[in-house]
Amino acid sequence: MTIWWRRHRNWLTPALLLAPGLFLFLVVIIWSSLETFWISFFDWDGMGVKTWVGLANYRELLDDPQFYVSLKNNLIWLLMFLLAPPAGLAIAFLVNQKIAGMRVMKSLFFMPLVLATVTVGVIFTWFYDPTFGLLALLFRAFGAEAPALLSNEHLVTFAVVASALWPQIAFCMVLFLAGLNNLDEELIGAGRVDGARGLAMLWHVVLPQLTQVAFIAVAITIVGALRSFDAISVMTAGGPFGSSTTLAYQMYEQSLFSYRFGYGAAIATILFLIMAVFIAWYLRGLIRAEKGA
Amino acid sequence: MTIDRISLRPTRRAFMGGMGAAASTALFAPAIAQSRQLTIISNRGNADQRKAVENIAADFGKAAGVSVTVNNMDHEAHKTAIRNYLVASPPDICFWFSGQRMRSFVEKNLFEDISDLIAKENWAGPMGTSIGAVTVNGKQYGLPTGGILWGLFYRQDTFDQFGLKAPETFEDFFTLAAQSKKAGLTPMSIGTKDMWTAGGWFDHMNLRINGLDHHMDLMAGKIKYTDASLKEVFDLWERLVKADFFSANHTSYAWDPAAAAVVQKKAAMIDLGNFIKYAFPADDLAQVRFKPFPSIRPGVAQYEDFSVDSIHIPSGARNKEAAKEFLAYFYKPENLGAYLAPEGNMPARSDCPVGNDPILKMAAESMKTIKGTAQYFDRDTDPDLAQAGMKGFQEFMVRPERREQILGQIERTRARIYG
């Protein structure tokens, strides 16, 4: 036994350590993805018999006006969410100063990260409420009528993204704060000797040291934007009439409310393909960084 | 019942034994005492109502010499579990919903035909129109227990204060609109965030214009949503939307804020079910009034949405005779009344006491004049089509000018499902 173990432990130890993670990854991610892909070729109500329909689900999807609304909304989410890293960076600079009371400020900016997305969604729904909401009261103070943001088909997605952006900015801020704490003091000192200060110092000395953090912040933000679901579910349920639905929410709605698991799986597959592009980009960056280091 | 007796001895082994016995009462029960047995699966969420089911079952067991087991399931979990257990291990009695939700099981031969029981007990009379909810091709597959009657609700004191009158005809809606707006009220409160309220409004309009047979054909996918017969429905509906008849920004609100507007005297009326009473403080309940949806096309009889829950014998039940005896016992007016009281729904039997609930009393009065009932948009039609339809109606109530597009989209869904 011991001899056998000694002979093989070189590869057995890492294998055993990796096994639980690998097993979960295979079952939860790989196997589920493959099965979803397989189901997308069927007409299935989730209970009864599956009927093979080939590419019919995908063909219908290309004809479905809701699909393009969802796609457009996903794009809005993506673009607006990309505001989070720069905003987080700006706030990180702001609170990274040694001024009395800055800890309180830091915790205030950090707070939304502690709240569940669902809580944030509910708070923002109240905030937007056109009769009792804070926004309506503010507008009324100036004698104006507040727009019913969650009822306006053109503004609703922006209103929902704004609520999701709040915790996302806090998240980026925390990442950048950690990055700022790891700045190389010697480099900054050298820069100062060379006469760099203000914007020049920021641009040539500080920011280059934050690229790794920025890369992670952007990648996580993109994935967060694409899988947006909970805020939509809580605040609008995809409405009014589907105008705030994203691909993730449409998949949920089709599968669970309309009992069309095949169609939902087709939407999931498309979403997976879109995400795969960004994930590939992220992995490439990650591998490059590791080789560089 | 077996479970109670065993779990009196709180040892681990006894507990395990109890679990085993509970899981397979059908196997062990004969050895214990009585030879006849009955298994019931209940889905009632209300704790008092669960108790009522257990009491009725226990009383029946004693009277008929049957050992009865009641298995309680979570209401939502039961909706998916029933698809499994009806096929794999059917109980002798189960609770469900009538209408389309029942029909889909009847078509798969999962519910027992109990027409003979209904004929023998002469229930057709007391059941009245609600018998339609459990009838498929002239045969009955369950007993309607109680349901939600839908219609217009308002506060008498609001109406007195502003001199409003409950609408009798469709044109009265516009009088109501003008007078309410003069008084600073929303004429018709509605919250379409969850979409089903828009489906209910469509039901009322179509039942008043095209009648029950047309409506049920439409729900069954036999009529196109682009059909000319629906033109008047959407024409009139559009007039209401353009007269600012409904709450502003109604897509922002669920039904409860919409009901609250009526309670707080900010809106004149609301189209809802008898559960509106949960929105009112107890002191204000005396002010609530019920008014059926006004008539539209002359000569069309009064048909209403009445969403009925029901009780069934699965066709795979092992003790069908005992099950029928149980139904006969359960369906006695006093037992049915005791079962429904905690939940506060309208009894499906007209001779069943409704207690002191003022809203139920008004609904019961109204039930007597109804000629036929539908269930509700999302209970009568395919769930996939219901989702598409309600979404379309919600959009129509905001953008009536898109009617053609909206109906085209609903029709595409209907064609995909029903061909």
User: What CATH number is attached to the domain comprising A202?
Assistant: 1.10.3720.10
CA distance A254 to chain B (A): 8
In a domain, residue B363? The reply is: no
- pLDDT for position B147: 86
**Cα B397 to Cα B237: distance, rounded to the nearest angstrom:** 8
Q: Kindly give the interhelix angle for A134-141 and A117-128, rounded to the nearest 10 degrees.
A: 30
Which chain B residues are within 8 Å of A242, Cβ to Cβ? 391
Same domain assignment for residues B289 and B347? no
Q: How far is B45 from chain A (nearest CA, A)?
A: 21
Least confident of A107-111, A202-206, B313-317: A202-206
DSSP tag of B191: -
pLDDT at B330: 93
Across the interface, whether the CB atoms of A130 and B249 are under 8 A apart is answered yes
Backbone angles phi, psi at B188, to 5 degrees: -130, 110
* Residues B37 and B98 reside in one and the same domain: yes
Question: SS3 string of A178-205?
Answer: HHHHCCCHHHHHHHHHCCCCHHHHHHHH
Residues of B in contact with A241 (CB under 8 A): 251, 391-392, 394-395, 398
Provide the residue range defining the domain that includes B126.
2-146+308-354
Q: Are B163 and B197 contained in the same domain? A: yes
Asked whether B253 and B193 are in contact (CB, 8 A), the reply is: yes
State whether A259 and B388 contact (CB < 8 Å). no
Determine, for residues B395 and A240 on separate chains, whether the beta-carbon distance falls below 8 Å. yes
- Judged by CB atoms closer than 8 Å, whether chains meet at A258 and B395 is answered as no
Chain A CA closest to residue B258: A131
Measured between CA atoms, the residue of chain B closest to residue A239 is B193
Residue contact A241–B398, C-beta within 8 A: yes
Residue B224, domain member (yes or no): yes
Q: Which of B252, B377, B384, B409 to mutate to test the interface with A (most CBs of A within 10 A)?
A: B252
Nearest CB to A258 within list B192, B384, B392: B384
For A111, the domain range is: 61-292
Structure-block tokens of residue A252: 């949920």
| Whole-angstrom distance, CA of residue A63 vs CA of residue B80 | 31
Q: Which helix (H) or strand (E) holds A148?
A: none
Number of structural domains chain A divides into: 1
Residues of B in contact with A259 (CB under 8 A): 383-384
Is residue B83 within 8 angstroms of chain A, CB to CB? yes
State the pLDDT confidence band at A1, using cuts at 50, 70 and 90: low
- pLDDT above 70 coverage of chain B, percent: 92
Q: What integer is the mean pLDDT of B265-275?
A: 89
Instruction: For Cα atoms B175, B364, B356, give the angle at the middle one, nearest 5 degrees.
Output: 110
In a domain, A53, yes or no: no
Residue B161 located in a structural domain: yes
Show the tokens assigned to B146.
Answer: 């109680």
CATH value at residue B200: 3.40.190.10
If residue B178 lies in a helix (H) or strand (E), which one and from where to where?
helix B172-182
Contact B249 A253 (CB under 8 A): no
Instruction: Label residue B22 by pLDDT band (50, 70, 90).
Output: very low
What's the pLDDT at A269?
A: 94
Please answer yes or no on whether A151 and B251 come within 8 Å at the CB atom. yes
| B364: in domain | no
Best of A241, A245, A254, A256 to substitute, by most chain B Cβ atoms within 10 angstroms, is A241
Report the distance separating Cα B25 and Cα B145, nearest Å. Answer: 27
- Domain assignment present for residue B136? The answer is yes
Nearest CA to B78 out of B26, B42, B47 is that of B42
Within 13 A of A3's CA, how many CA atoms are on the CB side?
0
Q: CA of B163: how far to CAs of A23, A278, B176, B183, in Å?
A: 72, 64, 10, 9
Q: Are B255 and B272 in contact (CB under 8 A)?
A: yes
d(CA B80, CA B59): 30
Under a CB-based contact definition with an 8 Å cutoff, are residues B311 and B145 in contact?
A: yes
Query: Tens digits of per-residue pLDDT, A221-233?
Result: 988 888 888 899 8
List all residues of chain A from 173 to 202 with a beta carbon under 8 Å from chain B.
Answer: none
C-alpha distances (whole Å) from B89 to each of B1, B44, B102, B267, B318 are 21, 20, 18, 51, 10
| Element containing residue B376 per DSSP (H, E) | none
Rounded to whole angstroms, how far apart are CA atoms A244 and A236?
7
Partners of A129 on chain B (C-beta within 8 Å) are 252
pLDDT score, position A293:
54
Nearest-by-Cβ selection for A148 from B249, B395, B409: B249
pLDDT averaged over every residue in chain A: 87
Mutate to test the interface with A, among B83, B249, B379 (most CBs of A within 10 A): B249
Indicate whether A178 belongs to any domain: yes
Instruction: Dihedral sign for Cα B103, B105, B106, B111, please.
Output: negative
Are B298 and B184 in a shared domain? Answer: yes
**Across A198-202, A211-215, B11-15, B278-282, least confident range:** B11-15
Residue A169 lies in a domain: yes
| Nearest chain A Cα distance for residue B215, angstroms | 21
Residue of B nearest to A152 (CA): B249
State the total domains in chain B.
2
Residue A100 burial (CB count, 10 A): 6
Q: B51 lies in a domain?
A: yes
CB atoms B384 and A129 under 8 Å: no
Q: Is residue B177 part of a domain?
A: yes
Name the band, by pLDDT with cuts 50, 70 and 90, for residue A292: low
Predicted pLDDT at A47: 65
Cβ of A232 under 8 Å from any chain B Cβ?
no
Q: Are residues B198 and B235 in the same domain?
A: yes
Q: Do the beta carbons of residue B307 and residue B147 sit within 8 Å?
A: yes
Q: Do B259 and B195 share a structural domain?
A: yes
Residues B139 and B185 in one domain: no
Cα–Cα distance between A79 and A161 in angstroms, integer? Answer: 10
3-state secondary structure of A86: helix
Which pLDDT belongs to residue B373?
Answer: 83
Do B274 and B398 sit in the same domain of this protein? yes
Asked if the peptide bond before residue B333 counts as cis, ω within 30 degrees of 0, the response is no
Averaged pLDDT score across all residues of chain B: 85
Cβ contacts below 8 Å, chain A against chain B, sum to 50
% of chain A at pLDDT higher than 70: 98
Mean pLDDT of A147-160: 88
Q: Which residue has the higher pLDDT, B130 or A13?
A: A13
Same domain for B152 and B86?
Answer: no
Q: Residue A129 is nearest to which of B248, B250, B252, comparing CB atoms?
A: B252
| Residue A27 placed within a domain | no
Q: Does a structural domain hold residue A116?
A: yes
> Are B293 and B331 in a shared domain?
no
Contact between A289 and A211 (Cβ < 8 Å): no
Cα–Cα distances in angstroms (integers) from residue A34 to residues A21, A30, B112, B334, in the given order: 18, 6, 41, 56
What secondary structure letter does DSSP report for B247? Answer: P
B128 vs A174, higher pLDDT: A174
Short-list B321, B331, B372, CA closest to B352: B331
Taking alpha carbons only, the member of B270, B296, B300 closest to residue B169 is B296
A168 touches chain B (CB under 8 A): no
For residues B13 and B78, membership in a common domain is answered with yes
pLDDT for residue B3 is more than 80:
no
Nearest to A47 among B83, B249, B252 (CB): B83
Which of A18, A40, A23, A89 is CA-nearest to residue A269? A40
Q: How far apart are CA B273 and CA B303, in angstroms?
A: 15
Cα distance from B13 to chain A (closest Cα, Å)?
34
Is A121 within 8 Å of A235 (Cβ atoms)?
yes
| Torsion angles phi and psi, residue B244, rounded to 5 | 50, 45
CA distance, residue A190 to nearest chain B CA (Å): 58
CA atoms B399, B402, B408, B412: torsion sign = negative
Q: How far apart are CA B229 and CA B223, in angstroms?
A: 9
Shared domain for B90 and B212, answered yes or no, is no
Nearest to B395 among A148, A241, A253 (CB): A241
In this prediction, residue A209 has a pLDDT band, given cuts at 50, 70 and 90, of confident
Q: Under an 8 A CB cutoff, do A150 and B251 touch?
A: yes
Residue B252 in contact with partner chain A when CB distance is under 8 A: yes
> Which residues from A are below 8 Å from B387, CB to CB?
253, 257-258
Kindly give the interhelix angle for A117-128 and A156-181, rounded to the nearest 10 degrees.
130
pLDDT band, very low/low/confident/very high, at B2 (cuts 50, 70, 90): very low
Tell me if B365 is assigned to some domain. Answer: no
Task: Single out the residue of B211, B271, B213, B205 nearest to residue B233, CA to CA.
Answer: B205
What does the pLDDT read at residue B96? 92
What is the per-residue pLDDT for B232? 92
